[in-house]
A and B are shown apart, each in its own frame.
Chain A
Amino acid sequence: MATTTNSVDGEAGSAGNALGRLFRMRETGLILIIAVLFIVMSFASPYFLTWDNMRAMAMAFAVEGIVVVGMTILLISGGIDLSVGSVTALAMVIAGWLFLNGLDPWTASLIAIAACTAIGAIMGFFVTRVGLHHFIVSLAVMVIARGLCLLGTGGRPLGLYTLPLEFKFIGQGSIGPIPVVIVIFVLFVVVFDFMLRRTTIFRKVFYTGSNEKAAAYSGIRTSKVIFLTTTLCAALSGVAGIIYMARFGSAQPTFGVGMELNVIAAAVIGGASLKGGSGTILGAILGTILLSVVSSSLALLDVSIYWQDIIRGSILLTAVTIDHYLNKRRG
C-alpha cells in the first residue's frame, strides 16, 4: 500500500492518479515528439545525425537551459521574469569590463554573478514588499539592464582576447568527448530537479504557487519564497552569462535579446503553468530540447529564419492549447 513516490506530482501513484498521468503524459509525449523529429530528420538530412550536429545542438540549448531551470522554478512559485536575456548580457558585460580593468576573470565572474543576484533581490523587493507585479517589475529591469550593458560598453562588444585558457575551458573545453558546457548544464539540471522534488524549501515553492493564500494559512512565508525564486532566477541568468562569455571570448551588450520568450516558451511547453503551482525541470528541459531540435532542423532544411519564428510560436500556441483543454477536463 505504501507506494514510495518521490515527487510532488505523485508519478508513482495509483492508476487513478489523473495528475500523475497528465505529467507522465507530458514528459513521455515530449520525448516521443523529439524522437519522431530525430527519425524524420535523419532521413531528411544526412548531416543531422552526426556527432558534430548533435554537439552543436546541445551546445545551443545547454547554457540557455540553465536559465530555463531558474525560470521554471520562478513560474512554479507564480512569478515570471522578462529580464533574463538582459541580465545574462549584463553578467557578461560586468565580468568583461572588470577583466579588462585588470581583475582576474574568476573574481570578475563572481562579482558579476553577485550583481545579477542583487538585481534579482531588487526585483524580489519590488514584488513582495512594494506589491508590484512580476511582469511589470521585470519588464522595467529588462530595459534598465540592457541600458546598463550599452552604457558600459558604448554599444560595442568587448573583445576579451587575453582570457586565460583555463577560464575559456568552461565554455570551450571538453572532458573526453563531452563539452564542459554540457557537463555544467547536466549538473545544474540534476541538482535542481532533485531539490525541486525532494527538499522542503522547494516544496514550499509549489505550495506558494498552487494557492498563495492557503500557503500563508499554512504558516509559509510566501513573500520570502517568492523573493527567493525571483533572486534565484536572476542569479542563474548571471551564471549563464559567464558561461557565454567564456564560450565566445567576448562580452556582447546586445546578447540575449528575445531570450526570455524562448525560455518561458520552453518551460511552458514542458508543463509549467503561468498560474503557478505546476511544472518540472525535466519537462522544461525537454521543452528546451524540442525547440532547439526544431530550430536546428529548420536550419538544416534551409528554411528561412523568418519561418523559424513563426513555427516556434505555433508550437508554443499548440502546447498551451492542449494544456488548456487537459486542465478543463480535469476540472
Chain B
Amino acid sequence: MAWAFPSNAVVNAMDHPVILKISNLSKSFGPVQALQGVDLELRRGEIHAIAGENGAGKSTLMKVIDGILRPDSGDIVIDGKAVTIASPTEAQKLGIGFVHQEIALCPDVSVAENIFMGVTNTSKALLMNYADLRKRASAILRQLGDIDASALVRTLSISQQQLVEIAKALTLDCRILIFDEPTAALTEREAKILFEIIHRLAGQGIAIIYISHRMAEIFDNCDRVTVLRDGRYITTHDISDTTPEQVVAAMVGRVIDKLYPEKQRADEKSDEIILDVSNLCEAARFRDVSFKLKKGEILGLGGLIGAGRSEIVKGICRLEGDVTGTVALHGKPLSLAHYGDSIDAGLVYLSEDRKGEGLFLDMSIASNISALAVERVASRAGLINAGRETRQAQELGRRLALKCGHVNDAVSTLSGGNQQKVAIAKMLSVAPKVIFLDEPTRGVDVGAKAEIHRIVRDLARSGVGVVIISSELPELIGVCDRVLVVREGRITGEVAGDDMTEENIMYLASIADERPRAA
C-alpha cells in the first residue's frame, strides 16, 4: 500500500507549537491498570500516530482525552493551560473532535441533521430551522467531498458515512481531531481520499491523532508516532527517523513468561494430517486459504482483529457465508451444507462471543452441555434421558475441573472462566475430531486461562485436531506449535519453533504484503 503523498515535512517546534501535552497519566479499572504513566505531546498541524497492540491502552487514552473516562492521576495541558476534561461536551468546548471507529449516525435521518446533532442537542431553540441546517451542512461537506446534505444517512456508503462523521467533528471548530482506525471499513481508494482530507485538515493547523496498527498507513501519512504497550508509554519517534520494524519491535517487545503448558515434544510429532483445507474462498472476506492440520499439534491463527480469522474458521464449519473450496477430514473430502453437518462430521467451533453466541445463560449447565447434540442423551425415539444428560455434564465437568454447584443450576450463576468451561464441555460432548477455538480465554481470569490451555494441550495429545484463534500474541506463541498469520483475508505467512516471535507475527499481520509462505 503506497499513498501518493510527498515525503512528510519534518514537524518543527517553531511552526508547530505544542497544543496538547499529557504527562504521567494513569487509569485503572479495578485491578487492571489500563494506563500507567503515559505521556503524549501533540503539535499544531501534525499527524501523530498512536500505535500499539490490541489492549495496549490506545482506546483508553483516547477516551480520557475525549472526556468519556476520567484519569486516576496525571496532567492534561491544552495551550499551556491545565485542564480537566469531565465529559465529551467539555472536550468539544476545548476543541477536541473524535471520529470513532464505529460509525454512530442515525441512519434514517438526513446528513445535515446528523452533522448538527450535537449542536441541536444543546440548542435552546424550540423549532428546527432545516433550511439553515442544510445550508451550513453543505458548506462543511463541500470541503470533504460530494455528499448531499439532505440525503438520508442510510443511503450513503460506509466511506461517505465516515465523511459525515468527520463533518460532524468539524462543526465543533476543533483544533484536535482524533481518528480511531478510520480505514478499517474502507477500501484502498476510499482510504486514499480520506488521507487527502486528513492532510488538508492538518494543513489548516488542526492537530490530528491517528490510531492504527497498520504500519503502511502510519509510515505513508503520519509525521510522528507514539508507541504504547501494556498501558505504558514506550517511545515517540519522528517517522523520518524510524522504520516499521523498529515500531513493531517497540509495540511487542515483551518477554514471554512460562505460564504455558509444555509444547509438543519431538517424539510426538506426526505426519498424519487430520484436516486439509484447500483454496477456501468467500466472496468478500477471505480467499485462497489453504492449510493442513497435523495430528497432535495445536495450530494458531494470528492476525489483527478484523483480518478474517473467525470468518475463515466459520466458513470451514459452514456456520456462515457462501464458501467455495475443499475441506478434507482424515483424507476424506467433506460435503457440508450446514453447521449441523459439520458437527456430525466432527468439526466444532467455539464462538468468541460466549454470552451472545455460545451459551444459553438462563438454561441449566447440563442442558447447555448437551445442546450440540441432544440426541446423544436421548433414546432412539427422541426422549431425553435426564439421568444420562446429568451424568454427561458431571463427567465433562470433572474432566475440565468445572467448579459449579449442581449441573442443573443456570449457567448464569457461574464465573466467566467456568462459563467458558461449560462452552468447551459443550464442544467436547460430541467427541469432536477437530475443534476450532475462537479467543478461548477472552474475559477469563489467569487461573482459568492456564487451565484452559492445559485442556487444549491434553486434547491435542489425545489426537483431536486443535485450531486456536487469539489476538493475544503471547498466548498464541505460548500455546501453539505452529501459527498461520492472516491479513486481509489471506494467509500471509507461517511461523513455527524459534521463528514464532511477536515481531514476526506482527510483521506478517501488519506489514508484509506479498510474501511467499515460509517453507
A residues neighboring B (CB under 8 Å): 1-10, 12-14, 16-20, 198-201, 203-204, 206-207, 210-211, 213-221, 277-278, 330-331
CB <8 Å contact, A201 and B360 = no
User: Which 8 residue pairs of A and B lie closest in terms of their CB atoms, listed nearest first?
Assistant: A10-B408, A13-B408, A14-B406, A219-B340, A210-B360, A200-B374, A218-B371, A219-B343
In the assembled complex, B40 has its CB within 8 A of some CB on chain A:
no
Query: Which of A10, A13, A221: most chain B Cβ within 10 A?
Result: A10
Which residues in window 372-405 of B have CB below 8 A to A?
372-375, 378, 382-384, 386-387, 390-391, 394, 405
CB <8 Å contact, A17 and B371 = no
Instruction: Identify the closest chain A residue to B389 (Cβ).
Output: A5
> In whole angstroms, what is the CA distance A9 to B367 when docked?
9
What chain A residues lie within 8 Å of B362 (beta carbons)?
19, 210, 277-278
Q: Which of B358, B364, B426 contacts A8 (CB 8 A)?
A: B364
> In whole angstroms, what is the CA distance A16 to B366 when docked?
15
> In whole angstroms, what is the CA distance A4 to B408 when docked?
10
Instruction: Identify the closest chain A residue to B375 (Cβ).
Output: A200
Q: Which of B351, B383, B391, B405 contacts A2 (CB 8 A)?
A: B391
CB <8 Å contact, A203 and B374 = yes
> In whole angstroms, what is the CA distance A330 to B410 when docked?
10
CB <8 Å contact, B372 and A218 = yes
CB <8 Å contact, A220 and B340 = yes
In the assembled complex, B455 has its CB within 8 A of some CB on chain A:
no
Given contacts A10-B406, A199-B384, 5 further A-B contacts (CB under 8 A): A3-B390, A3-B408, A17-B406, A216-B339, A219-B340
Q: Please name 22 pairs of A and B residues whose Cβ atoms are closer than 8 Å in the assembled complex, sorted by A.
A: A1-B394, A2-B391, A4-B387, A8-B364, A10-B366, A10-B408, A13-B408, A16-B406, A17-B410, A19-B362, A19-B410, A20-B408, A199-B382, A200-B378, A200-B383, A213-B357, A214-B358, A214-B359, A216-B339, A217-B351, A219-B373, A220-B340
> In whole angstroms, what is the CA distance A200 to B340 when docked?
15
A2-B394, A207-B371 are contacts. A219–B339 as well, Cβ < 8 Å?
Answer: yes
What chain B residues lie within 8 Å of A20 (beta carbons)?
408
CB <8 Å contact, B364 and A13 = yes
In the assembled complex, B363 has its CB within 8 A of some CB on chain A:
yes
In the assembled complex, B504 has its CB within 8 A of some CB on chain A:
no
What chain A residues lie within 8 Å of B356 (beta carbons)?
211, 213-214
A200-B378, A210-B362 are contacts. A217–B349 as well, Cβ < 8 Å?
Answer: yes
Q: Which of B319, B386, B408, B410 contacts A217 (CB 8 A)?
A: B319
* Interface majority SS (helix, strand, loop, mixed), chain A: loop
In the assembled complex, B92 has its CB within 8 A of some CB on chain A:
no
Question: What is the minimal beta-carbon distance from B232 to any residue of chain A, in angstroms?
Answer: 37
B residues neighboring A (CB under 8 Å): 319, 338-340, 342-343, 349, 351, 356-364, 366-367, 371-375, 378, 382-384, 386-387, 390-391, 394, 405-406, 408-410, 412-413, 426
A6-B386, A200-B382, A211-B361 are contacts. A218–B426 as well, Cβ < 8 Å?
Answer: yes
Question: What is the minimal beta-carbon distance from A22 to any residue of chain B, in angstroms?
Answer: 10
> In whole angstroms, what is the CA distance A119 to B438 when docked?
42
CB <8 Å contact, B364 and A2 = no
Instruction: Identify the closest chain B residue to A10 (Cβ).
Output: B408
> In whole angstroms, what is the CA distance A1 to B395 when docked?
12
Query: Which of A203, A216, A331: most chain B Cβ within 10 A?
Result: A203
Query: Which of B358, B364, B373, B408: most chain A Cβ within 10 A?
Result: B408
> In whole angstroms, what is the CA distance A286 to B365 when docked?
28
What chain B residues lie within 8 Å of A210 (beta carbons)?
360-363
CB <8 Å contact, B408 and A199 = no
Question: What is the minimal beta-carbon distance from B345 to any residue of chain A, in angstroms?
Answer: 11
CB <8 Å contact, A331 and B364 = no
Question: What is the minimal beta-carbon distance from B82 to any residue of chain A, in angstroms?
Answer: 42
> In whole angstroms, what is the CA distance A277 to B364 when docked?
12
CB <8 Å contact, B339 and A204 = no
Instruction: Identify the closest chain A residue to B361 (Cβ).
Output: A211
What chain B residues lie within 8 Å of A4 (beta carbons)?
386-387, 390
Question: What is the minimal beta-carbon distance from A190 to any residue of chain B, in angstroms?
Answer: 15
Question: What is the minimal beta-carbon distance from A213 to any residue of chain B, in angstroms?
Answer: 5
Instruction: Identify the closest chain A residue to B378 (Cβ).
Output: A200
> In whole angstroms, what is the CA distance A278 to B361 when docked?
12
CB <8 Å contact, B378 and A219 = no
CB <8 Å contact, A5 and B412 = no
What chain B residues lie within 8 Å of A218 (beta carbons)?
343, 371-372, 426
Question: What is the minimal beta-carbon distance from A281 to any residue of chain B, in angstroms?
Answer: 16
CB <8 Å contact, A10 and B405 = no
CB <8 Å contact, B406 and A217 = no
CB <8 Å contact, B384 and A18 = no
Question: What is the minimal beta-carbon distance from B499 to any residue of chain A, in angstroms?
Answer: 34
CB <8 Å contact, B342 and A19 = no
Q: Which of A211, A213, A219, A278 contacts B372 (CB 8 A)?
A: A219
